[in-house]
Amino acid sequence: MKFVESVKYVGRKSLVFSFLLGFLLVTGAWADSRVDTVISSAWKFNKADVANAQQPGFDDTSWSTIDLPHTWNALDGEDGGTYYRGIGWYRKHCTIGSENSGKRVYLFFESVGITADVYCNGVSIGHHDGAYAAFCFDITGAVIFGADNVIAVKANNSSPFVFAPLSGDFTQWGGICRSVHLLITNPVHITPLDYASPGVYLTPTNVSSTSSNLSVKTLIRNAGTTAKDVTVRATIKDANNSTVGTPLTLTRNVAANTTTNFIQNTTVSNPHLWNGLAAPYLYKVLVEVQTDGAVVDSINQPLGFRYYSVNSNTGFFLNGHYLDLRGAAIHEDRDHKGRAISDADRQQDIQIMIEMGCTWIRLAHYQHAEKIYDLADETGLILSTEIPLVNLISATQAFSDNCQSQLKELIRQNYNHPSVFFWGIFNEITLDGNGPNPTALMQKLNTLAKAEDTTRPTTAASDSSNTHSITYITDVLGFNKYFGWYYGAATDFAGWADGIHASRGADEIGVTEYGAGASINHHEENPPEPADAGPWHPEEYQNYYHEVLWKAMEARPFLWCKALWNGFDFGSDGRKEGDRHGINDKGMVTRDRTVKKDAFYWYKANWSNTPTVYITSRRFTPRSQNPRYVKVYSNCENVELFINGESKGVLTSADHIYQWNSVTLRQGSNEIRAVGRIGTSEYIDVCNWNFGTLPAVTITSPAEGATLPAGDILIEATASESGGGTITTVEFYI
């Protein structure tokens, strides 16, 4: 036995334990249920196409040994150069005990970027196109029970493809970017082959605080050779694991080698509503499959009862009460990891966004890992989730078919999550005449989404004309607007919002993107708008930008959603701007999650009930000139500023901004202390600024293209104080 993996038994309750895969035994009490084993350790990897790599006898001893999740672009996909887009091979040895002969064996992939060809013992078992959804193959016919089996995966992120996304402002990571599962079931079981969904669909309708209808649809596969009488038992459990009402039972005869739908309906009285962050109450439904007098399969699925609406004038309502849908779009992305992030990373991201005060998250620009949906269910964050139909389309039937397939995967795999409120079908589709007209495809996708799920509205993120027909295909709409960054001034946003509301008053319109880049190493007092693609992205401009935009949005409740771009800096290898190439730096938090930018605390002061006091421009040190102001973000009743222990006065504020002007520092270190007060409680923030005359720097520029003598250092310096021209930021290149 070469490795230890985690395995999940999904029966009357779930548990996770360690287990030697070579001894994959299903006996006694375990004989009646599925075994779901995560096989993530000790894969062999080679970043190149290799002939016959799928064959069991292929010699992979010279290949790297890696654990999943994995991407081969973890470093070159974030450096601003070119990154490898091609083929990578993965191989894994595993033994499946002979005791499992007669059962079904599946390989379940949470994600492979971007295409996958999967083999078992040299036999091709399936191909999948699309980097972000899960997929599942039945490998039973290729398995050798009681012997070594070789799983081989050929992943490919070459460009161009004939499916979405054809382009996008994010790196197209290659590799097995999430976990792989080995799933073993009895011949009669809940199928995992319906677009890799759970095989159970829970549909609450007519929801109120007094009652709710519930439909439970279960897809039963009989992979055996004879027909079977099958009973499906569905039991609703509350948050205390107590049974709600009477379990539902339905018996049908399922023919051999067929899949049959079991549909059961009930009414739940006085349901405890899932009410967002305030009270994310979760039920679950345990679905058990019985045949020949025994339980042969079972799974649990989350269930939440809630109702909601969007009004074109007054915004979003959850369970009959107004809820300000404010939050951020986020990518599945980390520094030096790319998309190959862990569930612990996802947990941290959700915690950070909740700390900032988000009530909703836009999962951009593709289907994220299931863990995010689980976390949102549990915490009460509302989600919008979407397929990766970004920018460009193709007029081919293959492209259309794949978009529809990715939409079915998105919806069916995440159907039961109460945190999912909106299905997104496109982002910023090009309408400039340089490509096919997208209208017919968008209409087809919108119709498909509504056929797949009659209970949730469709949405999209548009940067198109306010009047183009594609803009209003979906039930509700968000606009991506960058006044003050890519065009216009930040103050232009208010006029745009009022104008479109006046002209399209019956349409539910929100904002799905707005933002400005910022480096935590670039600082300038009262900066003018910088060049969006330039090297200078002062943090203070991002602060100003978000102050203006949020004030405008807060005053306009007809905007049903407001999602800033982005929660976190993320990899976009084609970008060459700010202080680091290969990164989109519009995040509220740095890509390594170590620094929350000033703007993060602007939103925390506005959105969160947690007492907040934060001194802005804290990283603007050393300084060679006295600051023109000290600015604090806070939601306290008042804030007092102290410099080196001396009070500079107590201020109140109606907009969470507290600013003291014309402040004098002393030579050397200065303690800046802000004390916020709510009643008799105090909340304190402290930073230190160094003040003094910087030494003169003499710079000699070599001729362009010249070779520096050995030992010389090239220094690039940027003037970072408005009007002063004083060099305070120096970057060394050796």
- In degrees and rounded to multiples of 5, residue 435 shows phi and psi of -145, -175
Residues 486-507 have a mean pLDDT of: 95
Banded model confidence at residue 14, pLDDT cuts 50, 70, 90: very low
Q: Give the model's confidence band at 433: pLDDT under 50 very low, under 70 low, under 90 confident, else very high.
A: low
Segments in 559-665 forming alpha helices (H)? 598-607
| 515-532: pLDDT as tens digits | 999 999 999 999 999 999
According to DSSP, residue 334 is labeled B
In a domain, 440, yes or no: no
pLDDT at res. 708 = 44
Mean pLDDT of the region 332-339:
97
Tens digit of each residue's pLDDT (9 = 90 or more) over 603-615:
999 999 999 999 9
| Whole-angstrom distance, CA of residue 246 vs CA of residue 234 | 9
Domain count, the chain: 4
Q: What is the pLDDT of residue 722?
A: 39
Looking at residue 13, its pLDDT comes to: 33
Each residue's pLDDT tens digit, 626-636: 999 999 999 99
Q: pLDDT by residue (tens digit) across 205-241? A: 999 999 999 999 999 999 999 999 999 999 999 999 9
**Distances in Å between the alpha carbon of 682 and those of 103, 634, 640, 674?**
64, 12, 10, 10
Which one of the listed residues 428, 513, 524, 539 is annotated catalytic? 428
Residues written for the chain = 734
Indicate the pLDDT class of residue 32, thresholds 50, 70 and 90. Answer: low
Residue 364 has pLDDT above 70, yes or no: yes
Q: Domain ends where: 303, 318, 347?
A: 303
Residue 726 pLDDT > 70: no
CA 186 to CA 630: how far, in whole Å?
67
For 338-356, b/e burial (b = at least 16 CB within 10 A) is bbbbebebbeebbebbbbb
Q: In the listed set 277, 303, 329, which residue is the last one of a domain according to the structure?
A: 303
Residue 66: domain span: 4-190
144-169 tens-digit pLDDT: 999 999 999 999 999 877 899 998 99
Query: What percent of the chain stands above pLDDT 90?
Result: 86
- Do 62 and 113 share a domain, yes or no? yes
Q: Is the peptide bond before 418 cis (omega within 30 degrees of 0)?
A: no
- Tell me if residue 428 is catalytic: yes
Q: What does the pLDDT read at residue 464?
A: 73
In a domain, 97, yes or no: yes
Binned at pLDDT 50, 70 and 90, residue 7 comes out as very low
Q: Which residues pair with 660 in a beta bridge?
A: 630
Residue 334 lies in a domain: no
Residue 321 has pLDDT above 80, yes or no: yes
pLDDT, greater one: 42 or 430: 42
Distance CA 211, CA 268 (A): 6
Task: Check whether residue 153 and residue 232 sit in a common domain.
Answer: no
- Give mean pLDDT, residues 116-138: 98
Co-location of 658 and 722 in the same domain: no
Does 712 score more than 70 pLDDT? Answer: no
Name the pTM for this structure.
0.91
* One domain for residues 179 and 235: no
Domain boundary (155, 190, 225) is at: 190
**Residue 148 is assigned to a structural domain of this protein:** yes
The answer on pLDDT for 113 being more than 60 is yes
Instruction: Looking at the structure, tell me whether residues 634 and 701 fall in a common domain.
Output: no
Based on the fold, state whether residues 18 and 126 are members of the same structural domain.
Answer: yes
Residues 68-96 pLDDT 10s:
999 999 999 999 999 999 999 999 999 99
CATH classification of the domain holding 132:
2.60.120.260
* 634 in the same domain as 705: no
Predicted pLDDT at 463: 86
Please check whether residue 328 lies inside any domain of the structure.
Answer: no
Q: Is 240 exposed, middle or buried (0-12, 13-18, 19+ CB in 10 A)?
A: exposed
Q: What backbone torsions phi and psi does residue 529 show, to the nearest 5 degrees?
A: -60, 125
Does residue 685 carry a pLDDT above 70? Answer: yes
pLDDT of 396 > 70? The answer is yes
Which of the four pLDDT bands, split at 50, 70 and 90, describes residue 436?
confident
Residue 297 lies in a domain: yes
Residues 77 and 21 in one domain: yes
Give the chain's mean pLDDT. 91
Q: What is the pLDDT of residue 702?
A: 52
Q: CATH number of the domain that 651 lies in?
A: 2.60.40.10
Same domain, 150 and 230: no
Shared-domain flag, residues 249 and 276: yes
Segment 558-569 mean pLDDT? 98
Percent of the chain predicted with pLDDT > 70: 89
**How confident is the model over 499-508, as a mean pLDDT?**
94
43 and 182 inside one domain:
yes
Same domain, 170 and 284: no
**Does residue 273 lie in a domain region?**
yes
User: For residue 711, what pLDDT is reported?
Assistant: 42
Is position 678 within any domain? yes
374 three-class SS: helix
Task: Tokens for 258, please give them.
Answer: 């067929």
